[in-house]
Amino acid sequence: MKCRLCQNDNLSTIYKVTDIPVFQNKVYATVSEAQNIMTGNVKLVVCLKCGFIFNSAFDKKVMSYDAQYQNEQAHSPYFQRYLGELIELFAEKRFQELKIIEIGCGKGYFLEMLRVDFFHRP
């Protein structure tokens, strides 16, 4: 196994777990379907050269983002309020060089809020 960024082979395992659900955001029609979900493994390794961390056990063949997959959080008024508070914090700080990184952006709800609410302020 080599680092997926720099191709270095000096890797160190930092976390490992087996037989965990592949998806946390799927909705199942029956209890039986939910009890027989697909599982996979996680083996987080860190590249000792560049610092990149990745799941070396990741298997893209088991990933199926079908109609049962639902990760939308934007329907929650609590989550919407939280995102609004983040945008207000950004606006208050008036960062000179603002860099925002959103990991796992889902359908892009927060990015759209930023575009509309934050970047169009006077």
**End residue of a domain, out of 19, 37, 62:** 62
> Can you tell me the mean pLDDT for 29-56?
93
Q: Does residue 5 form part of some domain?
A: no
Please state the pTM of the whole predicted model.
0.60
Residue 72 belongs to a domain: no
| 29/56 same-domain check | yes
Please check the confidence at residue 3 and state whether its pLDDT lies above 90: yes
Q: Please indicate, yes or no, whether residues 24 and 50 belong to a single structural domain of this protein.
A: yes
Contacts of 12 (CB under 8 A, 6+ apart): 45, 46, 48
> Is there a domain that residue 70 lies in?
no
Report pLDDT digits (tens) over 82-103: 999 988 888 777 655 666 767 6
**Stretch 77-81: mean pLDDT, rounded?**
92
Number of structural domains in the chain: 2
Q: Is residue 1 part of a domain?
A: no
Q: Do 43 and 84 reside in the same domain of the chain?
A: no
The Cα–Cα gap between 109 and 112 comes to 5
Range of the domain at 105: 77-118
